[in-house]
Amino acid sequence: MTRLLVWRHGNTDYNAGGRVQGQTDAPLNARGRDQAAAAAALLAAYQPDALVSSDLSRAYDTASALASLTGLSVSVDTRLRERHFGEWQGMLLSDIKTGHPAEYARWRAGDPSPGCGIESLDDLSKRVLEALQDAAALAPGGTVVVTTHGGAARQGCGALLGWPNEATRTLGSLSNCHWTELRDRTPRVGGTGWQLMAHNRGVLGQS
């Protein structure tokens, strides 16, 4: 039985300020570094066999907190980057709502391609799914921690579970430095073999 722990990075000033990060390389802030250290102590207890991370620094530095406890190296996979948010990257959500009301409404409603150069959910799902499958293959029967981003985590986990976009949207967003646990069991007819075991797990009171 292979276990994937899909871990969201720690807090950044973009998170704190209500800005869209997308693939902007915003670093962890002091709070984010503290979150990573606290969550890493819990994740180390799972005795991971491999660590894989997005190349964006907020994810890689989060993964590095766990690497320092386990002695494992962090493999980088650019497919684990956050969704590309096109024209919106770096913008305040409040400004987007005012300046792009139609596209903002479509995005909030779950439109897979809302416009403004935003990466489609289908493209996001495909690349993160492939990254998660390759990560799992690093330690068959073991535990792999994958450090990524909020939107990428949700869409990738949904794709791994075989869920349509409508079902994936019902999965709440991960809080900073929280994770989703997935386990690969014997495939059944019509299923992918992966099961959701836990979601939004992390340090109590930390978000």
pLDDT tens-digit map of 59-93: 999 999 999 999 999 999 999 999 999 999 999 99
For residue 187, pLDDT beyond 70: no
Q: Tell me what the pLDDT averaged over the chain comes to.
A: 95
Is 82 a known active-site residue? yes
Backbone angles phi, psi at 113, to 5 degrees: -140, 80
46 annotated to bind ligand:
no
All domains of the chain, ordered by start, with CATH? 2-84+119-201 (3.40.50.1240)
Total residue length of the chain: 207
For residue 107, pLDDT beyond 60: yes
Residue 198 has which token pair? 């836990």
What pLDDT was estimated at residue 191?
55
Cα(56)–Cα(77) distance, integer angstroms = 10
Return all residues near 117 (Cβ < 8 A) that are at least 6 apart.
Answer: 84, 85, 86, 87
Q: What is the mean pLDDT of residues 126-148?
A: 97
Cα(131)–Cα(94) distance, integer angstroms = 32
Instruction: Report pLDDT digits (tens) over 33-46.
Output: 999 999 999 999 99
Q: What is the mean pLDDT of residues 138-156?
A: 97
User: pLDDT band at residue 186, thresholds of 50, 70 and 90?
Assistant: low
For residue 206, pLDDT beyond 90: no
Q: Among the options 82, 103, 119, 181, which is catalytic?
A: 82
100 annotated to bind ligand:
no
176 annotated to bind ligand:
no
For residue 166, pLDDT beyond 70: yes
User: pLDDT band at residue 103, thresholds of 50, 70 and 90?
Assistant: very high
58 annotated to bind ligand:
yes
What pLDDT was estimated at residue 185?
77
For residue 188, pLDDT beyond 60: no
The pTM for the full model equals 0.95
Cβ 47 vs Cβ 141: under 8 Å:
no
Q: Among the options 9, 100, 149, 178, which is catalytic?
A: 9
For residue 189, pLDDT beyond 80: no
Cβ 28 vs Cβ 36: under 8 Å:
yes
Instruction: Report pLDDT digits (tens) over 3-31.
Output: 999 999 999 999 999 999 999 999 999 99
